[in-house]
Structure 1
Amino acid sequence: MSSDVPTSDDVSAARIETTRIEDEMEQSYIDYAMSVIAGRALPDVRDGLKPVHRRILYAMHEAGVSSNASHRKSSSIVGDTMGDYHPHGDSAIYDTLARMAQGFSMRYPLVDGQGNFGSVDGDPPAAMRYTEARMAPIAEELLADLDRDTVDFQSNYDDRLEEPEVLPAAFPNLLVNGSSGIAVGMSTNVPPHNLGEVIDATVELIENPDATVEDLMEHVKGPDFPTGANIVGRNAVHKAYKTGRGRIRVRAEFEVEEENDRIVITELPYQQNKARLVERIAEDVTEGAIEGIRDLRDESDRDGIRVVVELKRDAMAEVVKNQLLESHLERTFGVINLALVDGQPRVLSLKETLEHYLEHRREVVRRRSEHELEERRDRAHILEGRLRALEHVDEVVETIRESADRDVAKTQLRETFDFSEAQAAHIVRMQLGSLTSMETAEIEEEYADVTDRIERLEEILASQSELDSVIESELQAIKAEYDDDRRTAFIEDSGSVAHEDLIPEEECVVVMSEDDYIKRMSLETFRAQNRGGKGIIGTDLKEGDRVSSVFLANSHDYLLAITNRGQIYQLKTYEIPEMSRTARGKSAVNLLDLDDGEEIQAVVDCDRVGEDVDEERYLTMVTRDGYVKRTSVEAFENIRSTGIRALRLEDGDELVDVEETDGDADLVIGTVDGMAIRFDEDEVRAMGRSARGVRGIDLEPGDRVAGLAAVDPSRHDWVLTVTENGYGKRSDVSEYRVQSRNGKGLIDIKTGSRNGSVVSIEAVTHGDHLLAMSAAGQIMRTRVEDVSTVGRNTMGVIVMDLAADDEVSCLDIVPAAIAEGERGDDAAGTETTEPDAAGTETSETGVTDPAAEDE
């Protein structure tokens, strides 16, 4: 073989091109990305469909599976689509077909399904061999006039058939049914809308091309999801319509049935899985993230969603509702109005979306009108020939009879009567029956109709306004046929969801027992009585338990609970369950992360903690052994759920009382044996959290601290002391002279067998109320001014009438500002005189023993 003849290897080598791998990778990736963007993942702005949706509907159209036809096996529809138009997996096609049949996914389903097409619980559709489908009536509006040259066609994947590049789309389907998809480097998420609102906005844009997004929003209020629910606020909707992007908060529809202690959920945010929702709520209840729920049931049926959340008897419905809103019943729908415009992806505003649709629809109507005009002109031309033939019927019949064949007849008719080729061909095919007078009248009527229609079509094609009027009338007809009521409502945006927003602000009485049962009740539950009354039941204690503390707090205040181990915990008052007077309460272990053996010893209402605090505010603590400590509230701003250290306690010592002070007060420490010492707050320097403190009072053997009062002479008039047997007195603040700390103090009140030990000491003023509680759970509220003003070294008067085996356990003061805001109706109980231990009668002024006074 000659060396000049190329071999097969030479020919192959000649076809090899050298290129840089990064260039090839870049071009290949761009080709792939554009294929996904334009051919799979993004909808066309004109008909709102992705290729797979369009091909399924076209395959059904070609197979005659219309809304009037019988249902066809889904597998048959999928097979036709895959074999002729969409060369991808059958599962992807069937998933798309199923979604177009789901009323909870499509605002206006395009497929009428028969069988199991999935559920809002996330259940998958049945296999395609078990389900049947046909086009929904509204889907035919997308395909209407497809055979009238309204859109361009393109070859299918193997060039055997042709498919439409886009559907005529008689309504703005992109907005009406929405779309979602993830392409390469971009995604789309268009929410569905109400058909009537979108059509009204389209008509507005036709009539007023300069309309703004705000003008269009007069019609399109916002997305209208098939599952209903509520859109929170309108600002995000406006932003999404103006820019094409936004984040819309969608909240479930539910009702709090307080009389039945339950919350009933009836509508869910769009695309939320109901079964998963119920499962996640149950998980949060099990893990303690949500409290107050005793049962959870899904009672949904074909008529709608109904999830019932049963509440515990002592649960606060508003708090549970708020917790559900924060975690489960509100979702964000991220609007990305991205669609293909002339094959290129673009983020569109509401106005731009409708403008592109109108541009497409005008082209469709123009091409349809041109197509129809051509047909009508052809028909008019034929009818003109028939009418002329009827005028010369005898001659025409004679000419046809004398002709040798049809071709000769057509030639003779054209030469003799000046018919066109089409007219002559039609006349030759006419039957003799069409020559009757009745047929003649019908032809004349048809010809008049055709010519009128030609004139109308010419008007439409000659005038933009006439063409727009056709579009408008067709849109109005579709609205009249398919419009329905809006499903998604709007609710006002009240800002971030917080418990405080849903909890009424009111004064509460908080009661705690030695076994750490805690609850709250409205202060209005307890009316003021005259001193010496028995009070009313305030709690139901279990056997062996005793009341340890009672205090007043606002439902929105922060409470700081300090335990016997010196740890401090924080909670909001409203987090304490609200219960009736006869309820026991809830274990504090469920509210605070207490360790085994850890008990709450004192609680202070310090609503400034956690907010912007003044550095001149302090927590002043006193222990049983007489140590006092002052720490800035700034040290307690960030309290962990497991608590933080508040003070260091020596072995055997424990916290007794805590007051919030401002650095300018005098501290009065009272002991159980009736001693008291007053000294300036500055004598106790501010310390860190881990400090023990300094001595505040030098106790006699066997004595211990009963309480602490922060006295400000400019605000307080008296020091009130109450003993365990229900006796008490008021003494002027001036009776307690200021000393240095760590002194023995002076006699505050006589204790002895009649009075018993001192329970608490408080600083009070005009208008204050005393709230006293017995160990057995009786609560009595009385005006402090009903308690007599006497000197220090006295026995006092009866304050609370106790049962034989009961004693005063704790007390708190209702400030005058709060007490004056209520109606203080007097209840049972009158001022009385009581015999003292020696059997003599003690008046309200008390029995004074000057010799007993001791500093």
Structure 2
Amino acid sequence: MTEAPSGPADGSVDSSAEGSVESSALLSQLAHETAGERIEDIDISKEMEGSFLEYAYSVIYSRALPDARDGLKPVQRRILFMMQDMGLRPEKGHVKSARVVGEVMGKLHPHGDSSIYDALVRLAQGFAMRLPLVDGHGNFGSLDDGPAASRYTEARLAGAALAMTESLDEDVVDFVPNYDNQIMQPDVLPSAVPNLLVNGASGIAVGMATNLAPHNLIEVVDGAKHLLHNPDATVDELMEFIPGPDLPGGGIIVGLDGVKDAYRSGRGAFRTRAKVSVEQLSPRRTGLVVTELPHLVGPERVIEKIKQGVDAKKLSGISDVADLTDRKNGMRLVITLKTGFSPEAVLEQLYRYTPLEDSFSINSVALVNGQPQTLGLREMLRVFIDHRILVIKRRSEYRLRKRRERMHLVEGLLIAILDIDEVIQLIRTSDDAEGARSRLMQVFDLSELQAEYILELRLRRLTKFSRVELESERDELKREIEALLEILGSDEKLRAVVSNEMDQAAEAFGTPRRTVLTGAVIRPTRSAASSAALQVADTPCTVLLSATGRALRLDRDPEALESPRGTSRATKHGAVMSTVDGTVRGELGAVLSDGTLHRFTPVDLPLVPGASVAFSAGVKLLDYIGVTDKKLRVVGLVPLDTETPIGLFTLQGTVKRVVLTELPARPEFEVISLKAGDQLLSAFPAPDGSEFAVVASDAQLLRFPAASVRPQGRPAGGMAGMKLGAEARVVFATAVPEGAEARVVTVADSSITLPGTDVATAKVTDWAEIPAKGRATGGVRAQRFLKWEDQIACAWVGTGEPRALAADGAARKLPAELGKRDGSGQPIDGAAAFVGQAP
């Protein structure tokens, strides 16, 4: 048992003990005061509140959120600035990542090395950044695995990073002290690249977060230029240039409603799907081949989810899954199917239960003038444009100041060289440098800077050649000063410089779009037990192709689309170049200008209800069918389940008819062998009873029976269709149905007219006035050229009401009255690039 402490028996306080406690307190207080310390009582709740606010401020402004101007977080900005300061340019060798991390941590970023290295790695990852800013060498990780340690990897700046840091030494941005006030660092980078939209961003701060999707640089620059020249542009207008995100890994974005919401309000969500094709793996095995995955989804994660789904009986029809990805062939995830299962039905199950379909939530929060704001598309572009205008203005002012200073010195040197003997004599007779400077200023009317510069002049600069050099330099400086004054004195010229430099960045670093944008796809609602219930209904549909290469899908409605297949229709959002009827899951053919036909299924094309045609929501058909060569174009859509011959016409006048039966199993194949230098112009159904209508650039029009061209096999090169004059080419060709009441429209202009001053004349003629001729003849004149005209810019032959469109989609009013076959045209309100049929 513990013994109780001793004390007075009556329970009174021991005065000696109390005095001892007071003495200890006084001694402790005296000791603290003697040591220079002071103890204060504080309210812990107020202390916690203040500390939390300081922490939140630090996280929001110095760690988690990007600046809307350059799209970078502080650590990313410091990495790029320090790598530039270290001279790690693209043409130099790589250095150890650990060295970069050490420099950044020691001079600019007083945090752990792991956070700096993680930021460096992300800047180099091509699957995370649409436009990587760091060129990494070594293992920088993958979608399923992390990077190697910083001591094993090497890094240097990528080319795009130079555009981010360009002109930092020309006073284009403000500099602020680092954490210990010993080094100056940029508050923001000049950023010639709209990095916030191009590379996106993600971060979690205190009470807020940000998540922005990557975009295509070329599209963002086009949108920024449009807003630069049209400050009142709406989000819908900007979406004509920036239709949606462009993810680094490609894939398919399904439905654009969430994207539109994000562009308007800064918040929205969209679904992404893997790009999957059905392939015959062996004579008795069919498989689904995944070549592109949703953003930041790795193949190992997909394989794991597939195995879990098969084990849980959620997925059926799958016998094996293998990752055959390699550096040569890229992503290739092969899912082998069991015999008797529909590939489409299995794919719908995979979309439902695996990461082959994923969602992306956009929350566009960024710092604007030091304050976190939620930004829409227009606001993000506006902040970037304003930043670039300020950068170019400050750079021009800096260069103007430097050139004026140099001009001042050059003019002084020229004065001295003209009277060099007197200058030398004056300097030799002076007592000291101060006296020589004063006498030079008095005798030659020089400034102090000019006199000092002359005193430091080397004797080798006194030759006649040096004088010529100085005079040339003076003249060049005058021209540069005048140019800079024009830029600073004209808002229009300043904006032109901004626009030109954005174009240069897009040309240098832009790449074709990787992600396909589609409309919403019908989702199954029944359980996964029934494979047939998971299929999108294979209903009749019509696919429309615009003159700009975008495609849409319409439900089959006889009243919604009265135009026959192969004819053209124009709408307020574009012009239809070709149409074809089919089914949602059936195969159709897209014929390209290189003479190849590509199979495709319209199931993932944007679905437009009724007869509402808005090509801004369409998808570029070349991207949809996986063609990366942007020099090619789709010249027509054709069915693959008909005995009707397909007509083909080339620029050099070759014609061919081919029946697309007994086609190879390949996804693409040749339908005509083209001569060297020739290109396919158009592809369209051409039954025996129809007539070919061919218009050449020299205004000749040929009409001859389609039956005069016998069908040939796919490898054949066709036959002579129209005899062309020197330098002439075919500008339009189609097949007019038998007995159709068609119209001929021709638009003439000059091939040497300066851009912006284009004028043109147009003529509408009755098809019945065109006499029929034989194949391989020159035809008849369709329009008489005026003195300044030398070519037919565009033409059209078809039924219904014609409509002409300019290159930017603006409508051109055609003459209301019919003209004579060989008469001249009537002036219209500007040049036209396409003629089609009005809806």
**TM-score normalised to the size of structure 2?**
0.58
Q: Which residue among 112, 120, 126 is the counterpart of 1:97?
A: 120
2:145 pairs with 1:129: no
Shift of 1:403: 2.9
Q: Deviations over 1:334-388 (max 9, x none)?
A: 0011101111111001010111111211221122112111111100100111121
Counterpart in 1 of 2:350? 324
Q: Secondary structure at the match of 2:428?
A: helix
Q: Deviations over 1:793-825 (max 9, x none)?
A: xxxxxxxxxxxxxxxxxxxxxxxxxxxxxxxxx
Counterpart in 1 of 2:489? 462
Q: Which residue among 467, 470, 473 is the counterpart of 1:440?
A: 467
Shift of 1:505: 7.4
Counterpart in 2 of 1:117? 140
Question: Is the 1:262–1:311 Cα contact (8 Å) retained in structure 2?
Answer: yes
Which sections of structure 2, spanning at least 5 residues, go unmatched? 1-25, 526-531, 540-839
Counterpart in 1 of 2:85? 62
Counterpart in 2 of 1:340? 367
Counterpart in 2 of 1:361? 388
Shift of 1:471: 0.9
Q: Secondary structure at the match of 1:261?
A: strand
Counterpart in 2 of 1:50? 73
Q: Which residue among 241, 248, 251 is the counterpart of 1:226?
A: 248
Counterpart in 2 of 1:692? none
After TM superposition, list the pairs within 5 Å mapping 1:29-48 onto structure 2. 29-48=52-71
After TM superposition, list the pairs within 5 Å mapping 1:136-151 onto structure 2. 136-151=158-173
Amino acid at match of 1:354: L
2:209 pairs with 1:176: no
Shift of 1:16: 5.1
Amino acid at match of 1:93: I
After TM superposition, list the pairs within 5 Å mapping 1:570-649 onto structure 2. none
Question: Is the 2:32–2:38 Cα contact (8 Å) retained in structure 1?
Answer: no
Tell me how far apart the structure 1 counterparts of residues 467 and 524 of structure 2 sit (CA, whole Å).
79
Shift of 1:117: 0.5
Counterpart in 2 of 1:762? none
Number of equivalenced pairs? 501
Tell me how far apart the structure 1 counterparts of residues 470 and 81 of structure 2 sit (CA, whole Å).
37
Q: Secondary structure at the match of 2:168?
A: coil
Counterpart in 1 of 2:177? 155
2:102 pairs with 1:79: yes
Amino acid at match of 1:59: M
Counterpart in 2 of 1:806? none
Question: Is the 1:261–1:311 Cα contact (8 Å) retained in structure 2?
Answer: yes
Tell me how far apart the structure 2 counterparts of residues 218 and 12 of structure 1 sit (CA, whole Å).
71
Q: Secondary structure at the match of 2:305?
A: helix
Q: CA RMSD in A?
A: 2.0
Counterpart in 1 of 2:507? 480
2:221 pairs with 1:194: no
Tell me how far apart the structure 2 counterparts of residues 316 and 200 of structure 1 sit (CA, whole Å).
43
Tell me how far apart the structure 1 counterparts of residues 470 and 230 of structure 2 sit (CA, whole Å).
43
Q: Which residue among 253, 262, 265 is the counterpart of 2:290?
A: 265
Counterpart in 2 of 1:398? 425
Amino acid at match of 1:218: E
Q: Which residue among 297, 309, 317 is the counterpart of 1:292?
A: 317
Q: Secondary structure at the match of 1:334?
A: strand
Amino acid at match of 1:85: L
Tell me how far apart the structure 2 counterparts of residues 67 and 186 of structure 1 sit (CA, whole Å).
36
Change (3 A) 1:432 1:129: same
Q: Deviations over 1:651-672 (max 9, x none)?
A: xxxxxxxxxxxxxxxxxxxxxx
Tell me how far apart the structure 2 counterparts of residues 57 and 323 of structure 1 sit (CA, whole Å).
44
Q: Deviations over 1:155-208 (max 9, x none)?
A: 111222111111111121100111001111111001111111111111111100
Q: Secondary structure at the match of 1:496?
A: coil
Shift of 1:280: 1.2
Amino acid at match of 1:500: A
Tell me how far apart the structure 2 counterparts of residues 189 and 432 of structure 1 sit (CA, whole Å).
63
Amino acid at match of 1:412: R
Tell me how far apart the structure 1 counterparts of residues 199 and 33 of structure 2 sit (CA, whole Å).
59
2:512 pairs with 1:489: no
Shift of 1:13: 11
Tell me how far apart the structure 2 counterparts of residues 454 and 8 of structure 1 sit (CA, whole Å).
71
Q: Which residue among 186, 205, 226 is the counterpart of 1:204?
A: 226
Tell me how far apart the structure 1 counterparts of residues 524 and 244 of structure 2 sit (CA, whole Å).
22
2:343 pairs with 1:310: no
Q: Deviations over 1:646-701 (max 9, x none)?
A: xxxxxxxxxxxxxxxxxxxxxxxxxxxxxxxxxxxxxxxxxxxxxxxxxxxxxxxx
Q: Deviations over 1:228-272 (max 9, x none)?
A: 001112211111101101001111101022674100000000011
Shift of 1:80: 0.5
Question: Is the 1:202–1:354 Cα contact (8 Å) retained in structure 2?
Answer: yes
Tell me how far apart the structure 1 counterparts of residues 488 and 378 of structure 2 sit (CA, whole Å).
25
Tell me how far apart the structure 1 counterparts of residues 319 and 173 of structure 2 sit (CA, whole Å).
60
2:528 pairs with 1:502: no
Counterpart in 2 of 1:425? 452
2:248 pairs with 1:213: no
Question: Is the 2:309–2:353 Cα contact (8 Å) retained in structure 1?
Answer: no
Tell me how far apart the structure 2 counterparts of residues 48 and 437 of structure 1 sit (CA, whole Å).
53
Tell me how far apart the structure 1 counterparts of residues 186 and 476 of structure 2 sit (CA, whole Å).
32
Tell me how far apart the structure 1 counterparts of residues 40 and 448 of structure 2 sit (CA, whole Å).
59
Q: Secondary structure at the match of 2:124?
A: coil
Question: Is the 2:392–2:494 Cα contact (8 Å) retained in structure 1?
Answer: yes
Q: Deviations over 1:738-788 (max 9, x none)?
A: xxxxxxxxxxxxxxxxxxxxxxxxxxxxxxxxxxxxxxxxxxxxxxxxxxx
Shift of 1:405: 4.0
Shift of 1:333: 0.5
Q: Which residue among 295, 310, 326 is the counterpart of 1:301?
A: 326
After TM superposition, list the pairs within 5 Å mapping 1:544-583 onto structure 2. none
Q: Which residue among 399, 413, 419 is the counterpart of 1:372?
A: 399
2:432 pairs with 1:413: no
Q: Secondary structure at the match of 2:404?
A: helix
Question: Is the 2:522–2:536 Cα contact (8 Å) retained in structure 1?
Answer: no
Tell me how far apart the structure 2 counterparts of residues 185 and 273 of structure 1 sit (CA, whole Å).
30
Tell me how far apart the structure 2 counterparts of residues 198 and 503 of structure 1 sit (CA, whole Å).
34
Question: Is the 1:256–1:263 Cα contact (8 Å) retained in structure 2?
Answer: yes
Q: Which moved more, 1:45-54 or 1:24-33?
A: 24-33
Shift of 1:12: 8.9
Q: Deviations over 1:678-736 (max 9, x none)?
A: xxxxxxxxxxxxxxxxxxxxxxxxxxxxxxxxxxxxxxxxxxxxxxxxxxxxxxxxxxx
After TM superposition, list the pairs within 5 Å mapping 1:646-657 onto structure 2. none
Tell me how far apart the structure 2 counterparts of residues 289 and 487 of structure 1 sit (CA, whole Å).
31
Q: Secondary structure at the match of 1:147?
A: helix
Q: Say which one has the larger Rg.
A: 1
Question: Is the 2:254–2:273 Cα contact (8 Å) retained in structure 1?
Answer: yes
Amino acid at match of 1:460: I
Question: Is the 1:326–1:497 Cα contact (8 Å) retained in structure 2?
Answer: no
Shift of 1:494: 2.1
Q: Secondary structure at the match of 2:513?
A: coil
Question: Is the 1:254–1:266 Cα contact (8 Å) retained in structure 2?
Answer: yes
Shift of 1:24: 2.2
